Amino acid sequence: MLSLSSLTRVTFLAGLSLLAAAGCASTPPPPAASAAMLEKVRALAPYPCNAATAAALEANGVTPERLLDLYYVRQSSGGEASVLINHQAWAQVAGEPTQTVVQHSNTCHIQQVYKR
């Protein structure tokens, strides 16, 4: 029979294992964008994250015909030793009163897509 302290330790270790496994999980990237979407994104705003942006926009129902404008914002830590934190692609989509924002890591991995 397990003592209370042994049971607490086992529960704690099991919880740590679950947290570690969750930290390793990542969201799979969206399927590659169509050639038409990638071309439209590149024409509006040439940028290293264009392929990921185009794929994320299409995965969220944006078509090349509805994409009116696109620009990128780089977010950094600021100061003299400024470090790039992430990139945001701001897209104006026809028929939508808000902009669609695609947030990327500093290596262009999609972190989230939202409307603002």
Per-residue pLDDT, 20: 45
Domain membership of residue 19 (yes or no) is: no
How confident is the model over 3-58, as pLDDT tens digits?
Answer: 545 545 545 444 544 444 444 445 567 789 999 999 999 999 999 999 999 999 99
pTM, two decimals, is 0.73
Buried-state track 83-105, b at ≥16 Cβ within 10 A, e below 16: eeebbbbebebeeeeebbbbbbe
Domain span including residue 64: 35-115
Domain membership of residue 6 (yes or no) is: no
Number of domains making up the chain: 1
Domain membership of residue 13 (yes or no) is: no
Helix ranges restricted to H, 1-116: 4-24, 35-44, 50-59
Q: What is the mean pLDDT of residues 80-101?
A: 94
Domain membership of residue 104 (yes or no) is: yes
